[in-house]
Every structure is written in C-alpha cells, then in structure tokens.
C-alpha cells in the first residue's frame, strides 16, 4: 500500500496551500532528520488550526507558518551553527510569494516562524506566533514526543537510559546522554510552558500517557533487579 500523509482533509487544501506544502516537502525529502520531517509540520498545522478554532488567530497565517517553520532544519542538521528558525524565516517569503500568498500577511508568517523556538525562552508578541509555539511543543509531547526522542537519541548515538539509576534519583538528569533523561527533564514539563489554555489542556492529557509509559519502561528496566530482591 502506498504511504500517504495523514492530515485533516479540511486543512492545507486549496491551490496556494498545496503549493506551500509541496515546497516544504521537497526541502525535507531525502534529508535524514530523525522524526522532524514533513509529517511533523503537517501535525503542527492540524494542531494550530484546532487551537486557533478555540483561541482565535488567523488560520491562513498559521497554516503557512506551520508548514514552513522547520524548513531550515535539514541545513541545521548538516551544520549545527545554523539556527533553523532564522533560516526558515529567511526562506519563507520566496515560497509564499511563489504560491500567491497574500503579501500583507507574509510579515506575520515570518514573525511566527522566527520566534517558534521555545528553547530561546521568548514569549512572542502575536497570537499566531504563540499558537505556533504551543502546537510545535504539543507535537513533541505524548507518544509522538517519546517516539521522536528515541529516534533523535538513536541518531545521536545516545543511550536509552542510565542503567543503574534510570529515574535519576541519585544523580543529575542528562538529556544529552540518555533518551529517558530528555523525557524526564523536558517533555514532562511541557504542559506548564503552554501559552494557551487549549494547548495546556491537550498537553496535560498527553502527559498522563507519558507518565504511564515511563512507569512501565522503568518497571521493565528494573525487572531483574526487583526479582533479585524478592
């Protein structure tokens, strides 16, 4: 069966949006990126539109910003000195004008893309930029977040977990060394970092799954040790 992307058919349709999607897809095609591919951008788009239907904001700006927010990632993977948010914001205007996107909305798309990286600790000024930040982080929470963490950790040759102290009860968490540490130090705290109530509630729900996953993972990791103590 041929592989097809799964998105809400009501989103990203229309000639202009299809063109923007195709431009983004071409940039991601063939670039090894451990989960940060066109499917991430499409999921972020679906989340943006859902959040915006409750919180407000311009859905056209959000669709375009979601589709293009990470197009600088393949370049950052090759050269870590590249900031993918800045590069994505630089590449976006040409793609948008080529697709006939309303020129008066381009600056708002560029602003949202440029400010989407939460790791910079910035709270964006516009509602669309805040929603994009929320949707981007919501997509790396829950089951998808765990899957992306393990994919990225594998690509970076990191270990799954610290073998003698997986929950870091007697050491500092080190997300650069262990995938589970990244989940504990970053993913678990995502709900508290959301700007909108809609995204926070969704993140809390996804977090409940993640908590259960971590509990089971640790149960399995410590199986032999627990048996020895019985």
Binding site for Fe ion (CB under 5 A): 70, 136
CA distance 63 to 14: 12
* Nearest distance from C-beta of residue 70 to Fe ion, angstroms: 4
* Nearest distance from C-beta of residue 116 to Fe ion, angstroms: 6
Nearer to Fe ion, 63 or 136 (CB): 136
> HSE (CB half, 13 Å, CA atoms) of 199?
29
How many CB atoms are closer than 10 A to CB 31? 13
* Nearest distance from C-beta of residue 4 to Fe ion, angstroms: 21
Helices in 125-196 by DSSP H: which ranges? 127-139, 142-155, 179-185
Task: Identify the sign of the CA torsion 28, 120, 213, 219.
Answer: positive
Nearer to Fe ion, 136 or 181 (CB): 136
Nearer to Fe ion, 133 or 207 (CB): 133
Burial of 9 (C-beta count, 10 Å sphere; 0-12/13-18/19+): exposed
Structure tokens at 64: 């375009």
Q: Which conformational region is residue 215 in: left (phi greater than 0), alpha (psi within -120 to 50 degrees), or beta? A: alpha
Nearer to Fe ion, 24 or 167 (CB): 24
Residue 16 in contact with residue 100, Cβ under 8 Å? yes
Nearer to Fe ion, 46 or 136 (CB): 136
Helices in 57-126 by DSSP H: which ranges? 59-68, 73-78, 84-98, 106-114
Nearer to Fe ion, 70 or 128 (CB): 70
Nearer to Fe ion, 46 or 167 (CB): 46
CA distance 226 to 230: 6
* Nearest distance from C-beta of residue 159 to Fe ion, angstroms: 25
* Nearest distance from C-beta of residue 82 to Fe ion, angstroms: 12
* Nearest distance from C-beta of residue 1 to Fe ion, angstroms: 28
How many CB atoms are closer than 10 A to CB 167? 18
* Nearest distance from C-beta of residue 72 to Fe ion, angstroms: 8
């Amino acid at each position: 069966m041929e592989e097809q992307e799964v998105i809400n058919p009501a989103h990203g349709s229309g000639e202009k949006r299809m063109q923007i999607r195709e431009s983004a897809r071409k940039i991601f095609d063939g670039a090894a990126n451990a989960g940060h591919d066109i499917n991430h951008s499409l999921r972020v788009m679906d989340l943006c539109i859902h959040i915006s239907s409750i919180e407000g904001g311009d859905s056209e700006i959000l669709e375009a910003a979601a589709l293009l927010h990470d197009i600088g990632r393949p370049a950052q993977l090759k050269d870590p000195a590249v900031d993918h948010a800045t590069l994505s914001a630089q590449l976006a205007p040409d793609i948008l004008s080529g697709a006939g996107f309303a020129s008066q909305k381009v600056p708002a798309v560029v602003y949202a893309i440029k400010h989407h990286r939460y790791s910079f600790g910035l709270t964006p000024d516009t509602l669309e930029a805040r929603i994009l930040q929320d949707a981007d982080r919501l997509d790396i929470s829950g089951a998808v977040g765990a899957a992306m963490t393990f994919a990225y950790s594998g690509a970076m040759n990191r270990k799954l977990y610290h073998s003698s102290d997986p929950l870091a009860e007697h050491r500092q968490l080190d997300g650069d060394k262990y995938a589970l540490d990244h989940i504990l130090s970053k993913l678990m705290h995502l709900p508290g970092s959301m700007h909108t109530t809609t995204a926070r509630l969704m993140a809390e729900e996804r977090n409940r799954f993640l908590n259960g996953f971590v509990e089971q993972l640790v149960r399995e990791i410590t199986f032999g040790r627990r048996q020895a103590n019985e």
